[in-house]
């Protein structure tokens, strides 16, 4: 379960602090999906970064299962992010010099050289996202939709409890975007992950079980 309780985020400015998140609370169970929609600058990416423990809240609590990531030391926090959270960004963030297969294996490299069953799992995931015949390609040799499929496979290689996606279809045409939306939800269900997407796309939002609107740092 993901529990977010009264989270705030402020940035210092020369005048008064800029309040970007103002008391955000939400609860999601394993297997649930949520879209957060709202205008530009409303705090969507900031909230997602806090959910994924990439950024610290100014106050409030985030808990995934029994763990509050912000109580961990830096080493354990990095482990938490790597083991428990999968990220899909608008820009795929794939490493250009690595093959598709190697990119999917990147989250496992911290454990040393991937074992044969890790490689098999990556190949199975790549088949699942429709890229069985692209494993040796470099990202530059793929279409935008294919690159997002690789990014989704990479995000799921550790079967994370929490899958976070920031505008994952933002760079895609509407047909490809719909296919990627469906794939995200299907895989999230198969892995029984919690999925939170932030997006301006109503069709992506409609693919999620729940939708919440954020305005001026507050969830409505």
Ligand X SMILES: Nc1ncnc2c1ncn2[C@@H]1O[C@H](COP(=O)(O)OP(=O)(O)OP(=O)(O)O)[C@@H](O)[C@H]1O
- Contacts with ligand X by CB under 6 A lie at 11, 18, 20, 38, 40-46
Structure tokens that stand for 85 in this block = 């959270």
For ligand X, which is the closer residue by CB, 36 or 125? 36
What is the smallest separation between the CB atom of 35 and ligand X, expressed in angstroms? Answer: 13
What is the smallest separation between the CB atom of 91 and ligand X, expressed in angstroms? Answer: 12
What is the smallest separation between the CB atom of 177 and ligand X, expressed in angstroms? Answer: 16
CB 170 within 8 A of CB 98: no
CB 48 within 8 A of CB 9: no
CB 28 within 8 A of CB 196: yes
Give, for 211, the enclosing helix (H) or strand (E): strand 210-215
What is the smallest separation between the CB atom of 123 and ligand X, expressed in angstroms? Answer: 34
Q: Which of 56, 64, 58 minimizes the C-alpha distance to 26?
A: 64
For ligand X, which is the closer residue by CB, 104 or 214? 214
What is the smallest separation between the CB atom of 202 and ligand X, expressed in angstroms? Answer: 14
Structure tokens that stand for 91 in this block = 């820009």
For ligand X, which is the closer residue by CB, 52 or 139? 52
CB 199 within 8 A of CB 34: no
CB 188 within 8 A of CB 15: no
What is the smallest separation between the CB atom of 134 and ligand X, expressed in angstroms? Answer: 30
For ligand X, which is the closer residue by CB, 43 or 57? 43
CA distances from 53 to 26, 50, 78 (A): 16, 5, 9
The alpha-carbon radius of gyration of the chain (Å, integer) is 17
């Amino acid at each position: 379960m993901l529990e977010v309780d009264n989270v705030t985020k402020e940035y210092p400015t020369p005048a008064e602090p800029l309040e970007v998140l103002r008391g955000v609370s939400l609860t999601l169970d394993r297997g649930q999906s949520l879209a957060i929609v709202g205008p530009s600058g409303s705090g969507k990416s900031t909230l997602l970064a806090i959910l994924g423990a990439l950024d610290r809240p100014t106050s409030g609590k985030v808990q995934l299962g029994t763990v509050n990531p912000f109580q961990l030391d830096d080493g354990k926090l990095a482990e938490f992010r790597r083991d428990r959270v999968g990220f899909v960004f608008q820009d795929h963030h794939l490493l250009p010099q690595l093959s598709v297969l190697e990119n999917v294996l990147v989250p496992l490299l911290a454990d040393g050289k991937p074992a044969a069953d890790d490689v098999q799992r990556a190949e199975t995931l790549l088949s699942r996202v429709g890229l069985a015949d692209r494993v040796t390609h470099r990202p530059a040799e793929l279409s935008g939709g294919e690159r997002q499929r690789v990014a989704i496979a990479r995000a799921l290689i550790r079967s994370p409890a929490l899958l976070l996606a920031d505008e994952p279809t933002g760079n895609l045409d509407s047909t490809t975007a719909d296919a990627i939306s469906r794939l995200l939800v299907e895989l999230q269900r198969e892995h029984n992950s919690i999925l939170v997407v932030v997006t301006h796309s109503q069709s992506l939002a409609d693919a999620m079980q729940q939708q919440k609107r954020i305005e001026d740092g507050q969830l409505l």
